[in-house]
């Protein structure tokens, strides 16, 4: 065996390693998410009305609405409607507890003690009972 031959073999092995590392690094780099409609739901529409110091929220859901674990109402006074939404309060609502109702694809609850004269900006985020599925959120809404 000539001295150049072991060097050539070592070079080929290094080249093969480099190519395999480069190939294995390609592709999508994200956690897998289920897209099975048996487990996923979405928000069709969220609406709310402010009256008697309470915000009454109704959310229409599509898909596997029975997988709702919790809803979070995030809100802030609407004193700066053009500013980015920065909620000052976050409240958790569990279906079946208190006045939180989840029936036939509709989630409803209320937040009371709201008295800002300028109204509120708010958003609902709903968590799936399957922790691997990301929560879904409504658009930021405003109430007079």
For the chain, domain boundaries: 41-143
- Contacts of 84 by beta carbon, 8 Å cutoff, 6+ apart: none
The 106-112 sheet, strands edge to edge: 41-51, 54-63, 106-112, 101-103
Q: How confident is the prediction along the chain (144 residues), in pLDDT tens digits per residue? A: 556 678 888 787 887 777 776 676 666 666 666 666 788 999 999 999 999 999 999 999 999 999 999 999 999 999 888 899 999 999 999 999 999 999 999 999 999 999 888 999 999 999 999 988 999 999 999 987
41-143 belongs to which CATH class? mainly beta
Pairing mode, strands 141-143 and 120-128: antiparallel
- H/E element, 17: helix 4-24
């Amino acid at each position: 065996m000539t001295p150049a031959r072991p060097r050539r073999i070592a070079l080929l092995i290094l080249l093969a390693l480099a190519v395999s590392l480069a190939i294995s690094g390609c592709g999508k780099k994200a956690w897998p998410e289920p897209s099975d409609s048996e487990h996923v739901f979405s928000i069709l529409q969220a609406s709310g009305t402010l009256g008697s110091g309470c915000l009454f929220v109704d959310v229409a859901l599509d898909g596997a609405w029975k997988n709702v674990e919790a809803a979070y109402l995030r809100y802030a006074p609407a004193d700066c409607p053009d500013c980015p939404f920065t909620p000052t309060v976050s409240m958790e609502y569990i279906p079946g507890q208190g006045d939180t109702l989840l029936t036939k694809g509709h989630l409803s609850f209320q937040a009371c003690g709201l008295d800002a004269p300028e109204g509120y900006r708010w958003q609902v985020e709903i968590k799936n009972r399957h922790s691997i599925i990301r929560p879904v959120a409504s658009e930021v809404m405003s109430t007079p």
